[in-house]
Amino acid sequence: MDVGLVGLSYVGKTTLFSALTGSAGEVGGAMKAGVGVANIPDPRLDLIARHVPTKKIVPATLRLVDAPGLTPAGAGAESTAGKVLACVREVDALCHVVRCFDPGGQPPAPERDIDAFESELILADLQVVENALPRAERSARSREKKALDRLEVLKKVGPWLEEARPVRSAIAQGALTAQEQAVVRELGLVSAKRVLYVANVGEDDLAGAGAAASAVRDRARADAMESVSLCASLEVELSRLDEPDRAEMLEGLGIAEPALPALARGLFRLLGLQCFYTAGEKEVRAWTIRAGATAPQAAGAIHSDLERGFIRAEVYSVADLEELKSEKAIKEAGRLRVEGKAYAMRDGDVAHFLFNV
Ligand SMILES: Nc1nc2c(ncn2[C@@H]2O[C@H](COP(=O)(O)OP(=O)(O)OP(=O)(O)O)[C@@H](O)[C@H]2O)c(=O)[nH]1
Ligand SMILES: [Mg+2]
């Protein structure tokens, strides 16, 4: 899953990027995006590996793009939106970091900041649509289906954006078919992407109970998006500690867990994703699929050959393993299920795929 860390300037994007990926990042960085990978912590992987002896554990990952800060157009200055947003055209979701801390004499104004950023998203998309329209009109003269579809979508989202509404709200209201949404993705329209709002709180509100974090939460709820609150600078400190020290620091601060698991859960809900697992001597591994994916589609996440040549899947749940302690015991208890092509994977399934190519 690819996620873009976006937001206005100096809100803590790069700080959060460093905390999540463990890479240095460039604080207050120049106009270029950093790219890094975060392993998604998952207690179910450890549980599986306790009962299925294995050489290595491979977690699901998040690929993070740390976008440069966006400066809205001001008196005499041009907006930097086009450049900034070009680096997140291909991501699956946006993590919109909102400043909820006061660096000194600058009280947070999350609603104003969210509105400012949202306007820039919409303007950037409007620009894309206006640039693409003349070309789309020319190619539509060929009457080729693809060209006609593209023109149709551009004509549909243009007025929507002109009314200062993000494309994602058109999708939410069912104004675009699945096929039209695919065209929107191809166009790289950024206001179409779903958003996880990150309230970056100061050390004085680690619980995220203050007015600023609440405003971010309310906004996310009103838009049917997701939100988390975290303190990016504290997360950097946490990420540098070994496990026992980290646990101690969390406890001392009264925080339940580091930010990454909550952030990952938010993204999974936002995008309608779930995990399944494969377990063997070589590795125990987590795979990310769409909720509702069928067994062959899940197999396809591992390799296209497994989807093409899918015969059946042998499936049990992590809960079965926790209860019965081994695959052998699961089999003996008659709990190893044999599932066919129509099976919809459930969250927390452990699967072996049988295939033939
Ligand atoms: N108090 C406080 N300061 C923070 C926090 N997160 C970031 N900062 C500070 O805010 C400043 C900007 O942080 P960056 O992480 O570079 O912000 P950015 O959003 O990447 O900035 P640009 O890339 O320039 O847009 C730095 O001085 C950070 O130390 C936080 O959670 N609390
Ligand atoms: Mg930065």
List the pLDDT tens digit at each of the 357 positions of the chain: 999 999 999 999 999 999 999 876 555 555 678 899 999 999 999 999 999 999 999 999 999 999 999 888 776 777 788 888 889 999 999 999 999 999 999 999 999 999 999 999 999 999 999 999 999 999 999 888 889 999 999 999 999 999 999 999 999 999 999 999 999 999 999 999 999 999 999 999 999 999 999 999 999 999 999 999 999 999 999 999 998 999 999 999 989 899 999 999 999 999 999 999 999 999 999 999 999 999 999 999 999 999 999 999 999 999 999 999 999 999 999 999 999 999 999 999 999 999 998
Phi first, then psi: give them for residue 9, nearest 5 degrees: -70, 145
Q: What's the CA-to-centroid distance between 188 and ligand 1, angstroms?
A: 27
CA-closest residue to ligand 1 atom 29 = 233
Q: Which fold has domain 2-42+60-109+192-270?
A: Rossmann fold (3.40.50)
What residues contact 3, with CB distance under 8 A and at least 6 apart? 62, 63, 64, 65, 91, 92, 93, 94, 95, 196, 267
Of all protein residues, whose CA lies closest to atom 5 belonging to ligand 1? 233
- Residue ranges of the chain assigned to CATH 1.10.150.300: 116-187
Q: Is 232 near ligand 1, meaning CB less than 6 Å away?
A: yes
Q: Which atom of ligand 1 approaches the CA of 103 most closely?
A: 1
Ligand with the closest atom to the CA of 238 = 1
At 27 the pLDDT is 56
Rg for the chain, CA atoms, rounded:
23
| CA nearest ligand 1 atom 8, residue | 12
Q: In the chain, which residues fall in CATH 3.40.50.300? A: 2-42+60-109+192-270
Token representation of residue 264: 């990952």
Residues facing 313 on adjacent strands = 339, 353
> What is d(CA 271, CA 321) in angstroms, rounded to the nearest whole number?
28
Q: Shortest CA distance to 55 belongs to which of 317, 302, 328, 284?
A: 284
- Our answer on whether the CB atom of 34 is closer than 6 Å to any ligand 1 atom is no
Side chain identity at 103, as an amino acid letter? P
Is the minimum distance from the CB of 64 to ligand 1 under 6 angstroms? no
Amino acid 64: pLDDT? 96
CB atoms within 10 A of CB 146: 12
* Best residue among 8, 9, 10, 205 to mutate for probing ligand 1, ranked by most atoms within 8 Å of CB: 10
> Ligand 1: which of 27, 230, 237 to mutate, judged by most atoms within 8 Å of the beta carbon?
27
Burial 244-278 (b: 16+ CB within 10 A, else e): eebeeebeeeebeebbbeebbebbbebbebbbbbb
- Enter the CATH code of domain 116-187: 1.10.150.300
pLDDT of residue 75: 64
Give one DSSP letter per residue of 41-91, joined into a string.
Answer: --HHHHHHHHHS--SEEE--EEEEEEPPPB---BTTB---HHHHHHTTTT-
Q: What is the pLDDT of residue 143?
A: 86
- Thinking of the domain 292-355, which architecture would CATH place it in? Roll (3.10)
Measured distance CA(89)–CA(143) in Å, rounded = 28
How far is it, in rounded angstroms, from Cα 286 to Cα 79?
Answer: 41
**Stretch(es) of the chain classified as CATH 3.10.20.30:** 292-355
The confidence score (pLDDT) of residue 306 equals 95
HSE-up of residue 330 (Cα within 13 Å, Cβ side): 22
Q: Rounded to an integer, what distance in angstroms lies between the CA atom of residue 49 and that of residue 44?
A: 9
Q: If you take atom 7 of ligand 1, which residue's CA is the nearest one?
A: 12
Q: How far is CA 16 from CA 6, 103, 116, 182, 192, in A?
A: 11, 16, 21, 30, 24
Q: Are 83 and 68 in contact (CB under 8 A)?
A: yes
Ligand 1 neighbour 15 (Cβ under 6 A): yes
Q: What is d(CA 314, CA 132) in angstroms, rounded to the nearest whole number? A: 48
